[in-house]
Amino acid sequence: MNLRWTSIILSGWIVGMTIQAEAVDPLNAEAYRLMLHAEGADRPRWLPTRIQRLEEEQRELLALISALPQFDPALVPNRLGYHSGYAKQDGELSSHQLTVHFVNRPVLAGISMVPAMNPRDRHDSNYAFPRRFRIEVLESERGVWSEQENRFVQENLNWVEVVNWMGEDFPDPGRYPVFFRMPDSKVAKIRLTVPDVTSELGHAFYALNELYLFQGVDGQVADNMSVWGSSSIERFEVSDSFSLQPFWDVEYLYDGLAGLGVPLSEERVEEGQDFLVRFGEEASEPVQIVLDLGTVKQVGRVEFWPTEAPDRIVAPLYAFPGTILVELSDDPDFKRVKRILVDDARAQMYHNNILRIMCDAYDARYIRFTIDALREDHGQRVLGIGEISVSEHGQVFSEGCEISASGIPEHHLHTLPRLVDGNCRGRRILSETEWIMGLAQRRPLDRRLNEVNQELRSSREAWRSHQLRLSIWGGSLLCVGLLVAMGLQRLQRRRILKGLKVRITRDLHDEVGSSLGGLSLTSGGLANMTEDAKMKSALDDLSLMAREAASSLREVVWVTDQDVIRLPALIEKMQERAERILSGVDVVCDIHPDLPDLEVSLSCKRHLIMFFREAVHNCARHAGAGRVMMSVGMDSERMLEICLEDDGCGFDVRKQKRGWGVDSMRQRAEELSGVLNINSTPGKGTRICLILPLTSLQREPTKAYNTSN
């Protein structure tokens, strides 16, 4: 909802308090739909923007509400208002009618219906406010009052419908008054019709706390005529009634007790202290207060406002007097006087309400109040009055007038102007018209403010939850980013280290490898040149060691360059090793052409290389073979068989010598989940076979085998 409509209806009240704007409440369902159509507004989906808009709307609503009356409904245990009769099961009633008969023909400017309240219901709901109703006025034209017949004659009377909510339910007003602006016509009667519609309580009835009928003066909404009594209203006529005093009665419909608190502004004023006096023990004479209105005025009513108890204690009618004598006169000596005695003032206040004394438009300039029957507080008599208001037709005469008093301690006399400053309880006093219209205008604002507060609260909670989720996601993304950065940094470091390792190994291959190759050639050449057997054997061993070292260096460089080691490439490197180590020997290789392209784990690669190196080393050093057969095969059960067979001297397997590495080869075979077979006969050569499953090449061994080789 935007505030366009509420701003429009408030403009007439806020600017100059003229109160001649459009009707506060819609006169019919069609006007209500037009009002709702003007209220729609889209809510931003982005939470910070929505919260900002809601906060702006909240501030605007609070600013508008601060210019309206205070809403402080006072729940009273009795004088609840008027209660209609309720339909019997046989459907006795078809509708309820309430008719107001006027003595004269006043100009009707507004009608206000105040919902009844259930004292035991502490919620914001009302009691049995009519959901459907119609208001008609009997307009009077060209009527002339006949003293002889004691009535209007030559008068045209026409019933005119001014409010119609018979087709649809009226929006629930809660505990706020409903106000309808009338067309400022002279009326003889007002008729309220409520159809016999079954309510949620199971019965068809309605109830009203108060009915305000505002007179129109010079195009403005003026005084409430309901409290004028027989001088203005002849009678309130109802078709049916449920009367149960002191709770429900037709008289309570126009007793001025609306249960809405007192007519005060929402905004507090700086100079707003109430009149409060404490008397000493010597004080005994009655208190007299005299107001000088400046000129003779037609005084319609005098109102006494109760003060607020000190220190915010809950004390209704604190220090309010029990007896008040009102004297009105146009003579300062009060020789011609109208006296009104109220000897049960506190009883007439009805739970901290306003004491209203009707004066029947008496001409007076001076008003004297004799106050007695004061309350006591801590053994001292106290007198507290928030304001004394003298008015007629909504026009206040007493505000800022001259005031004097007797019977009051001298040091309190300077506080007398507080009785006529137009303020009470720190707030500005409003006329009944301002009060009722303002409360009706406040109803949609308070409801919207509640909606805004709830929506703002839920939006803030959603934003906090969203921020938490964002922080979690942000933290997670940050952690992921850090982990990715660390991973990339680690990968970069690995690449750098790998590059460094490759350079080192290649440098070793280029520098050390060439040196080892030269050493092997030199030692081999020297071995061929010497005739000393021991020297020849030592040089041959030196040449073999150089070839083995050079071959190992080549394998290191190869492994460093490879990201993944495949079985065919590994078998090829083993073949190259055999050909390099077994120099001068006829090496024949028989490799299965369809070896699977399996990835060999690093540990299995190491075991296979070391196993094969040991076998080739023993063949080169001890066999003295002229021909070596290397075969790699695979059977139907996916068992890999690697064999090395020579035609050398052979040996007795049962008398194998320590240091030949047979034990280490057997342990490596076990690590590979394989089997080592050694067949050798002295003088007939040796055959070494390693048989292992292909699946074992892809997994890590169950335990690490340490060897010095």
Quick: pLDDT tens for 105-152.
889 999 999 999 877 776 678 888 999 999 999 998 866 666 565 566
What is the three-class DSSP state of 564? coil
**122 and 175 within one domain:** yes
Task: Give the residue from 206, 226, 254 where a domain finishes.
Answer: 254
Q: Can you tell me the distance from the alpha carbon of 685 to that of 680, in angstroms, rounded to the nearest whole number? A: 6
**269 and 243 within one domain:** no
CATH number at residue 193: 2.60.120
Q: Can you tell me the distance from the alpha carbon of 655 to that of 158, in angstroms, rounded to the nearest whole number? A: 142
Q: How many domains does the chain have?
A: 4
For 569, the domain range is 564-709
State the sign of the Cα–Cα–Cα–Cα dihedral 226, 228, 231, 232: negative
State which H helix or E strand residue 292 sits in.
strand 287-306
Q: In this predicted model, what pLDDT tens digit does every residue of 348-382 receive, in sequence order?
A: 887 668 898 989 889 999 999 999 999 888 888 99
Within a domain: 441: no
Task: Give the residue from 224, 254, 284 where a domain finishes.
Answer: 254
Stronger pLDDT, 238 or 284, i.e. the higher one: 238
The average confidence (pLDDT) of the chain is 82
**89 and 194 within one domain:** yes
Task: Return the pLDDT at 432.
Answer: 87
CATH number at residue 684: 3.30.565.10
Q: Can you tell me the distance from the alpha carbon of 692 to that of 632, in angstroms, rounded to the nearest whole number? A: 12
Q: Which of 12, 28, 13, 311 is nearest to 171 (CA)?
A: 28
Task: Give the residue from 254, 281, 308 where a domain finishes.
Answer: 254
Within a domain: 550: no
Strands in 203-274 per DSSP E: 207-217, 220-224, 233-238, 264-268
Within a domain: 490: no
**273 and 230 within one domain:** no
**Whether the bond into 246 is cis, omega within 30 of 0:** yes
Within a domain: 610: yes
Within a domain: 169: yes
* Single pTM value for the model: 0.65
**236 and 88 within one domain:** yes
Task: Return the pLDDT at 153.
Answer: 62
- DSSP code of residue 17: T
Q: Can you tell me the distance from the alpha carbon of 590 to that of 607, in angstroms, rounded to the nearest whole number? A: 21
**607 and 458 within one domain:** no
CATH number at residue 350: 2.60.120.260
**277 and 211 within one domain:** no
Q: Can you tell me the distance from the alpha carbon of 21 to that of 672, in angstroms, rounded to the nearest whole number? A: 101
Q: In this predicted model, what pLDDT tens digit does every residue of 588-631 receive, in sequence order?
A: 898 888 888 888 888 888 888 888 888 888 887 787 888 889 89
Q: Can you tell me the distance from the alpha carbon of 13 to that of 2, in angstroms, rounded to the nearest whole number? A: 19
> What is the residue type of 537?
S
Within a domain: 528: no
- Calculate mean pLDDT across residues 375-398: 90
What is the three-class DSSP state of 284? coil
Contact (Cβ atoms closer than 8 angstroms) between residue 688 and residue 630 = no
Task: Return the pLDDT at 458.
Answer: 92
**216 and 358 within one domain:** no
Residue 367's CB is within 10 A of a number of other CB atoms, namely 26
Strands in 380-482 per DSSP E: 380-392, 395-396, 402-406, 423-424, 427-429
Percent pLDDT > 90 in the chain is 31
Within a domain: 650: yes
**215 and 146 within one domain:** yes
Contact (Cβ atoms closer than 8 angstroms) between residue 555 and residue 577 = yes
Torsions phi, psi for 86 (to 5 deg): -120, 145
**271 and 227 within one domain:** no
Q: Which of 150, 156, 238 is nearest to 194 (CA)?
A: 238
Look-up of token digits 């063949």: 619
Within a domain: 335: yes
Tokens of 151: 């009535």
Residue 247's CB is within 10 A of a number of other CB atoms, namely 15
**88 and 43 within one domain:** no
**424 and 285 within one domain:** yes
Q: In this predicted model, what pLDDT tens digit does every residue of 252-311 receive, in sequence order?
A: 998 888 888 889 998 888 777 899 999 876 656 789 999 999 999 999 899 999 998 888
**Statement: residue 537 has pLDDT above 70:** no
Least confidently predicted of 15-19, 121-125, 238-242: 15-19
